[in-house]
């Protein structure tokens, strides 16, 4: 049973470029959340997708957008990259019916470096 | 303001020793509190989840405590191993999607 998989593992971009990160949730999970983790910090919530809709959003600008596909996989898009966007981007999947104690399973992340 | 603060920021202990990590939070409303272990370059892995009514929960050599009155939690690691070297993140959950993460405690276990 595959866990949460993210691609690519590492990515180097330059300022102003656009990037797309991908996530496949754990088998059976229908909800995907995206987080940004700066070096030495805890993850910051970007947004969550369920039933192909953005259900909630954290305090991130519109340059950050996403999508969820019918197979529950998800993409995170970041436009007009800034140096400050350099971080580890984590995807977490969960089951919407799991209730408040629902555990989020994290992928290994995509390390984005913006030069 | 909803915050989760962890201490110490970093910790070095010898293999076989015990240690305790602290977490203080001001998050409201409170649903549950989680401890995650994050190895370098990896995503966080859940260790324990505790609700308001739970005081203690164990997972092998990891024991978490929760005092909902003082809004404090601790993670105690017994008989540390080299593989325990990682960041330990305290997370307070307000809802199924509103997780407030602490900055973590970086633990290094030396032989």
- State the nearest Cα–Cα gap between B36 and chain A, in angstroms: 10
Contact with chain B for residue A41, Cβ under 8 A: yes
What pairs with residue A47 in β-bridges? A34, A57
Spell out which residues of chain A touch residue B101, defining contact as CB-CB under 8 Å.
35, 42-44
Query: Nearest-CA neighbor of A21 among A79, A68, A89, A70?
Result: A89
Per-residue pLDDT 10s for chain A (115 aa) are 568 999 999 999 999 999 999 999 999 899 999 999 998 888 999 999 999 999 889 999 999 999 999 999 999 999 999 999 999 999 999 888 666 667 888 999 999 999 9
Q: Are strands B10-14 and B105-110 parallel, antiparallel or unpaired?
A: parallel
Pair A111, A82: CB distance under 8 Å: no
Cβ atoms of A106 and A91 within 8 Å: the answer is: yes
| Among B109, B27, B105, B78, residue whose Cα is nearest residue A41 | B105
Model pLDDT, residue A41? 87
Cβ-count burial B30-66 (b if 16+ within 10 Å, e if not): bbbbbbbbbeeebbbbebbbbeeeeeebeeeebbbbb
Interface of B with A (CB under 8 A): 4, 31-32, 34, 36, 41-46, 49, 51, 89, 91, 93, 95-99, 101-104
**Higher-scoring residue by pLDDT: A100, B87:** B87
């Amino acid at each position: 049973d595959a866990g949460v998989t993210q691609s690519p593992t590492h990515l180097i971009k330059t300022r102003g470029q656009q990037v797309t990160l991908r996530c496949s949730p754990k088998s059976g999970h229908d909800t995907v959340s995206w987080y940004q983790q700066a070096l030495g910090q805890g993850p910051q919530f970007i947004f969550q997708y369920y039933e192909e809709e953005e259900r909630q959003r954290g305090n991130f600008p519109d340059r950050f957008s996403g999508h969820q596909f019918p197979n529950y996989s998800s993409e995170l898009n970041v436009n007009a990259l800034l140096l400050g966007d350099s971080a580890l981007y984590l995807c977490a999947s969960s089951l919407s019916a799991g209730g408040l104690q629902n555990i989020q399973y994290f992928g290994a992340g995509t390390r984005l470096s913006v030069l | 303001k909803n915050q989760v603060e962890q201490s110490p920021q970093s910790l070095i202990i010898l293999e076989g020793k015990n240690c305790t990590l602290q977490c203080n939070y001001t998050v409201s409303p409170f649903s549950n509190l989680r401890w995650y272990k994050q190895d370098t370059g990896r995503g966080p892995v859940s260790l324990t989840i505790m609700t308001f009514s739970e005081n203690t929960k164990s997972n092998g050599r990891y024991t978490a405590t929760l005092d909902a009155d003082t809004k404090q939690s601790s993670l105690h690691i017994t008989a540390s191993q080299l593989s325990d070297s990682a960041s330990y993140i305290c997370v307070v959950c307000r809802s199924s999607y509103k997780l407030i993460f602490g900055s973590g405690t970086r633990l290094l276990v030396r032989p």
